[in-house]
Amino acid sequence: MPTMLAVTAREWGAPEVLTPIEIERPEPGLTEILVRVHAAGVNPVDWKTRASGAFIAWGEVPIVGWDVSGTVEAVGPGVTLFEPGDEVFGMPAFPRQAGAYAEFVVAPSRQFTRKPGNISHIEAAALPLAGLTAWQALIDTADLRAGQRVLIHAAAGGVGHFAVQIAKARGAYVIGTARADNHEFLREIGADEVIDYTAVDFGAVLREIDIVLDNVGGDYGDRSLPVLRRGGHLVTLPGADGMPDAAEADARGIRISWPIVEPDSAGLAAIAELVAAGKLRAEIDRVLPLTDAAKAHAYGETGRTRGKIVLQVAEPGV
């Protein structure tokens, strides 16, 4: 049987547990496609699950990662959307194991969409999980409308910088919190206002916000309640770590949501349309080879990234 290179967590713990191994290459089953991976995105959920193994239904060999961009190598019975040679990207299987840190990935065809022709596989691999998180939070959950005022915490991060662009493309007035050295970048991608959270208390300067997207957690949920208008919406991505006081939110007439990102070909297609139209781009902080996955995780855990980290799996042109 043919084999492939993959990165596994030999145990749960520090980045050094990530180990390159040779394993059997998967084959596509009914409605599945086999994708030759060109690049794999790195996300906070990757290193959080690597540290503990929690919340994920792992396969027999735990292979990390969900963001994939690559070329269809083979299709299983029943697949009509793609054929070998098509360039695709996606976030298959989440929260189950997808195994993106590998030379090949097999998954249902409808958990992928076609890669926009105006970007590279490196850029496309940065899009799925963070882009879908932002899309599902703002569009599907908060029903963002043109003219609304949106506050995005950690606006220069992976999810945050996509949320800024998606909100702007929808015609919102966008405010972001970020360190001062990211302010120019955020204005370039569409932020109307940027607040340096290290120097200014956003709660002291903002009011009548329609939607708050909290990418931080901790006390940011409680601190965000006073800035929302009555009837406003707080969308918290950290979940239990960022849930504000429910009684206070209810008294203020504020809705609280905690979405968990799901595979979504329609959402991916909408993101791809924005990319093709030049309204959305991935900021790439760093590109490392697949075998340096441990270094990628260690860097990501510093919390100092702007945009996304990507692992290059195949050489350009392969």
88-132: pLDDT as tens digits: 999 999 999 999 999 999 999 999 999 999 999 999 999 999 999
Give me the number of domains the chain comprises: 2
Asked if 151 and 233 count as a contact pair (C-beta separation under 8 A), the reply is no
Tell me if 62 is assigned to some domain.
yes
Identify whether residues 93 and 196 lie together within a single domain: no
Identify whether residues 101 and 162 lie together within a single domain: no
Identify whether residues 24 and 41 lie together within a single domain: yes
Query: For residues 190 and 193, what is the distance between their CA atoms, to the nearest angstrom?
Result: 9
Going by C-beta distance under 8 Å and a sequence separation of 6 or more, which residues neighbour residue 68? 35, 37, 39, 40, 41, 89, 90, 91, 92, 98, 100, 105, 112, 125, 128
Residue 57 has pLDDT above 80, yes or no: no
Identify whether residues 14 and 118 lie together within a single domain: yes
Tell me if 173 is assigned to some domain.
yes
Asked if 181 and 241 count as a contact pair (C-beta separation under 8 A), the reply is no
Identify whether residues 220 and 241 lie together within a single domain: yes
The pLDDT assigned to 309 comes to 97
Q: What's the pLDDT tens digit per position in 125-176? A: 999 999 999 999 999 999 999 999 999 999 999 999 999 999 999 999 999 9
Asked if 300 and 42 count as a contact pair (C-beta separation under 8 A), the reply is yes
Identify whether residues 191 and 229 lie together within a single domain: yes
Identify whether residues 204 and 111 lie together within a single domain: no
The least confident of 192-201, 228-237, 308-317 is: 308-317
Query: For residues 162 and 135, what is the distance between their CA atoms, to the nearest angstrom?
Result: 8
Q: How many CB atoms lie within 10 A of CB 281?
A: 18
Mean pLDDT of 232-260: 92
CATH no. for residue 61?
3.90.180.10
Tell me if 277 is assigned to some domain.
no
The pLDDT assigned to 316 comes to 65
The pLDDT assigned to 56 comes to 77
CATH no. for residue 159?
3.40.50.720
Residue 318 has pLDDT above 70, yes or no: no
Mean pLDDT of 283-295: 97
Residue 19 has pLDDT above 90, yes or no: yes
Tell me if 300 is assigned to some domain.
yes
Residue 317 has pLDDT above 60, yes or no: no
Identify whether residues 150 and 209 lie together within a single domain: yes
The pLDDT assigned to 53 comes to 86
The pLDDT assigned to 1 comes to 82
Tell me if 299 is assigned to some domain.
yes
Query: For residues 15 and 243, what is the distance between their CA atoms, to the nearest angstrom?
Result: 29
Identify whether residues 236 and 199 lie together within a single domain: yes
Tell me if 104 is assigned to some domain.
yes
User: What domain range includes position 294?
Assistant: 3-127+282-312
Identify whether residues 58 and 116 lie together within a single domain: yes
Query: For residues 73 and 54, what is the distance between their CA atoms, to the nearest angstrom?
Result: 32
Identify which has the larger pLDDT, 73 or 316. 73
